[in-house]
Amino acid sequence: MRRVAAYLLALTLASGAQALSLSDCDRTTHISHGGETAHRDLGEGRVMWTDWWSQEGTATDIMIVDCAPGDALRFRTAEDRMTQRLSFDKTDKALAIVEQHQNGARVFATLPRMADALAPVARDIALSTLTAEPCACAALYGDLRGNKTAFELERGS
């Protein structure tokens, strides 16, 4: 029995397998001026996080992903000095719209419907399908990866 336990322990250590948590997903993706934060489980295989940018201007984008199909909704909720457009911050209003959709039946809370509802307050609204698994999906819904490229955390990021 001890041999089996020792073997399993050695196998686990050799594989380097470490479970991800949402806190592992908070990271800087562009040295000192861009990253991902505020990862959140929306339930039923759906996650959300904030992409931030801060270099000679600031921007806040929200990303919502249905992990199994990889369907994604990205929208900008705040921007200052990024383009010639006027600065704005509608983050609270946009998050209230997301929350309203999340509180209803998931069958009606589709990403295209959210996109339509966000149109009056958000900018740069885009729907897409991801081919690579995002960190939050790997942390919470790894079993829903399907044929998407598995997420690998770069230590120190």
Tell me if 136 sits within 8 A of 25, measured CB to CB. Answer: yes
- DSSP helix/strand/coil, 79: strand
pTM of the model: 0.83
The answer to whether residue 2 sits within a structural domain is no
The answer to whether residue 155 sits within a structural domain is no
CA dihedral of residues 51, 128, 67, 35 (deg, nearest 10): -10
> Structural domain tally of the chain?
1
The answer to whether residue 117 sits within a structural domain is yes
The answer to whether residue 115 sits within a structural domain is yes
Q: Is the pLDDT of residue 18 over 90?
A: no
Lowest mean pLDDT among 1-10, 13-22, 89-98: 1-10
Structure tokens at 133: 């698994």
Give the pLDDT confidence of 76-106 residue by residue, as tens digits: 999 998 888 899 999 999 999 999 999 988 7
Question: Cα–chain-centroid distance for residue 48?
Answer: 4
> What was the pLDDT predicted at 155?
62
The answer to whether residue 95 sits within a structural domain is yes
Tell me the Ramachandran region of residue 38: left when phi exceeds 0, alpha when psi lies from -120 to 50, beta otherwise.
left
Q: Mean pLDDT over all residues of the chain?
A: 86
The answer to whether residue 88 sits within a structural domain is yes
Q: What are phi and psi of 55, to 5 degrees?
A: -150, 110
The answer to whether residue 154 sits within a structural domain is no
Instruction: List, in sequence order, every residue forming a beta bridge with 60; answer none if it has no partner.
Output: 52, 78
Cα separation of 38 and 60, whole Å? 12
Handedness of CA 140, 143, 146, 150 (dihedral sign): positive
Q: Which residue would you say has higher pLDDT here, 144 or 29?
A: 144
Q: Which domain holds residue 99?
A: 18-144
